[in-house]
Amino acid sequence: MSDAPEVNGPVVTPVRVVIALCLIAPFVAMLWVSSYAKVDPTFIGIPFFYWYQMLWVLISTALTMTAYKLWQRDQRGRKSDRSAGSQA
């Protein structure tokens, strides 16, 4: 009997790349400070620096939720592939 883990398809798939991009995008946006370290344009009297960061809170929430849903779908697909393979 082998102790090697069972491999069920490729580890890097297009869906997993999209998941990674969804999770990395907010970090890149917030770490690139020179892109938003300014006052103008203001939005309802709020300097750009602040409203840009608040906008990214909402965007990050949407991207994280998207990544989670994609991950769930990916895991369900792998589980069904695994169970279909064991029945064959």
Convert the pLDDT of each residue in 71-84 to its tens digit. 999 888 878 877 76
| Rounded CA separation 77/87 (Å) | 15
| Rounded CA separation 73/28 (Å) | 26
Tokens of residue 59, six digits = 């965007």
Query: Which among 72, 81, 88 has a CA at the least distance from the CA of 7?
Result: 81
Question: pLDDT tens, 4-63?
Answer: 555 566 788 899 999 999 999 999 999 999 888 889 998 999 999 999 999 999 999 999
Sole residue written with tokens 């064991």: 86
1 pLDDT tier (thresholds 50, 70, 90): low
- In this prediction, residue 80 carries a pLDDT of 80
Burial status of residue 26 (CB atoms within 10 A of its CB: 0-12, 13-18, 19 or more): middle
